Amino acid sequence: MQLSKDYGFVSNNEKKWRELRRFTLSTLRDFGMGKNSMSQKVQQEAQHLVELLAKLEGGAFEPMTTFRHAVANVICSVVFGSRYSYSDAAFLELLDAVSNYVSFFLSPLAKVYNTFPGIMDRLPGPHKRVLADCQKLKEHIQEKVQFHQLTLDSSCPRDYIDCFLIRAEKVEGGLPSGLAAAGASPRHTESTQHTLLQEQGSPEPMYSHEDLIMSVFNLLGAGTVTTSNTLVFFLLMLAKHPHIQAKVQEEIDAVVGPGRAPSTEDKLRMPYTNAVIHELQRSHKSRIENFPRMATQDVLFRGYTIPKGTPVIPVLSSVHSDPTQWENPGKVDPAHFLDEKGEFRKREAFMAFSAGKRMCPGEALARMELFLFLTTLLQSFTFQLATEHSELDLFSLWLQMERRAIPGKFFALPRPVSS
Ligand code: HEM
């Protein structure tokens, strides 16, 4: 991709991708991904969200911005070591940059841009704005990195950036912090540091300054928009299917009750809620195509031969609506994930996080977030659409929601507190 110049861990360079993916996964695990310490962070963030919605006293709200902020705070606490207040306007601008970038990245225009960057750079169009916004986000990350360099204590890493800096020191002799202290401009610092690393004799640095900036960029992009979009989609679906929402709330009331926050351990005793989460993910078809892959050998598929080397774009949602795999593919039916005793059952054809060696490395965190955010919210609120909108078909509703085009039409109604 033209923006990343192949830096960072979502790279086409197999060796770098493998190394940085492994490093990132183990660092995320060290900071609690899939463990108790991370679940506490998510619980706290979910509680902030509940407080924010409670202040509205049942008034309408715009879910996309609010949820994106909450979810971004979880990944920011791991990457930067801190969260941002809901009133931080500068951070909201950066979040807009992240989501515009992700939408652009998945659009057909991005494919044209990547194929003809020289021509596209000279033409006006939405890509110019997206790239300028991304530059701002990279500069924000750059400032964070400079602060981390100046305050780093190698014996006590605070977050992902610290771990990356320590690793860079070990593997490649480090990123020169003196430049940051000398007040070099972000652009100057970036290129100078890259040159310095190459001069140190590493022909292909994997822990360069640019790799750090892009890896953080990748994590913010991949870890924010997907999860927050999924959560908003969940609430939209539950508002459209109030009987399912009520049944999840019944289970929350029975297992968790009103007096404490839901925890990850509760999931084992909440098979219906777990099944609803999987079923809603199965029916979420907003991202139709996965990233392009290449056939590594000749493949015979439905009577056609796909020769080795052919680019292939997997369509994950086709598996999610395959009538040979699902009893009611066109319906929202939590029973797809429940056995005859009402216990949760896994399904092989569930592929929301993809499959294979490039499958989503954030799955454990995403699952934790989906469960804790959803249950904490439904413990306190019932979500509802204004009557005129509940009649609209789901696809149009989702498009409006994604574009934040239905202000004043989505409500979080406080639930009566039972004694
Ligand atoms: C509901 C939430 C999420 C969904 C549905 C989701 C789904 C996906 C999918 C389908 C892919 C493409 C895999 C492939 O190329 O085959 C992917 C990749 C990726 N995801 Fe997620 N994801 C979610 C949350 C997260 C989170 C929270 C993080 C951050 C920790 C994250 C980080 C990434 C990264 C870095 C990649 C690229 C991996 C690579 O190229 O090696 N995702 N995700």
Q: 256-279 pLDDT, tens per residue?
A: 999 899 999 999 999 999 999 999
In a domain? residue 64: yes
Residue 309 lies in a domain: no
pLDDT given for residue 197 in this prediction:
40
Residue positions forming the annotated binding site for heme: 360
Is the pLDDT at 166 greater than 60? The verdict is yes
Q: Which atom of ligand 1 is nearest to the CA of 10?
A: 40
SS3 406: coil
Q: Are 7 and 208 in contact (CB under 8 A)?
A: yes
Cα(132) to centroid(ligand 1), Å: 24
Helices (H), 34-88: 36-55, 63-79
Q: How far is CA 181 from CA 82, 148, 178, 191, 329, in A?
A: 22, 11, 5, 16, 58
| Binding site as annotated, residues | 360
| Stronger pLDDT, 54 or 197, i.e. the higher one | 54
Q: 269: Cβ–Cβ under 8 A, 6 or more apart, which residues?
A: 255
Residue type for position 128: K
In a domain, 34, yes or no: yes
Could you tell me the two tokens for 196?
Answer: 């310095």
- 314 occurs within a structural domain: no
Q: Six-digit token pair at 410?
A: 């989505």
CA dist 193 and 195 (Å) reads: 5
Gap from CA of 190 to ligand 1 centroid (Å):
27
C-alpha of residue 217 to centroid of ligand 1, in Å: 13
pLDDT at residue 326 in the model: 97
- 223 C-alpha to center of ligand 1: Å? 7
Domain with 68 in it: 14-285+321-414
Ligand 1 binding residues, C-beta < 6 A: 10, 21, 218-219, 222-223, 226-227, 230, 290-291, 352-354, 358-362, 365-366
If one counts the domains in the chain, the total is 1
What does the pLDDT read at residue 246?
A: 98
Residue 306 lies in a domain: no
Is the per-residue pLDDT at 182 higher than 50?
Answer: no
Whether 337 shows a pLDDT value over 80: the answer reads yes
* Position 356 in a domain: yes
Q: Which amino acid is at 380?
A: S
pLDDT in tens, 19-43: 999 999 999 998 888 777 889 999 9
- Does 40 map to a domain? yes
Which residue's alpha carbon is at the smallest distance from atom 16 of ligand 1? 359
Q: Do the beta carbons of residue 122 and residue 136 sit within 8 Å?
A: no
Percent of the chain with pLDDT over 70: 85
Residue 313 falls within a domain, yes or no?
Answer: no
Q: Whole-number mean pLDDT of the chain? A: 84
Q: Which of 18-27, 69-78, 390-399 has the lowest mean pLDDT?
A: 390-399
The confidence score (pLDDT) of residue 181 equals 35
Alpha helix segments (H runs only) across 1-125: 14-30, 36-55, 63-79, 89-105, 108-115, 117-122
pLDDT class of 184 with cuts at 50, 70, 90? very low
Q: Given this model, what pLDDT does residue 3 score?
A: 66
The pLDDT value given to residue 2: 59
- Of 108-117, 170-179, 400-409, the poorest mean pLDDT is in 170-179
Phi-psi label, residue 411: left if phi above 0, alpha if psi -120 to 50, beta otherwise: beta
Where is pLDDT greater, at 9 or 264? 264
Do the Cβ atoms of 160 and 79 come closer than 8 Å?
yes
Q: Which helix (H) or strand (E) holds 248?
A: helix 242-255
| Ligand 1 atom closest to Cα of residue 352 | 5
CATH code of the domain in which 334 resides: 1.10.630.10
Q: Report residue 367's pLDDT band, with 50, 70 and 90 as the boundaries.
A: very high
Tell me which of 177 and 367 has the higher pLDDT.
367
pLDDT at position 371 over 90: yes
Q: Which of 61-65, 347-351, 409-413 has the largest mean confidence?
A: 347-351
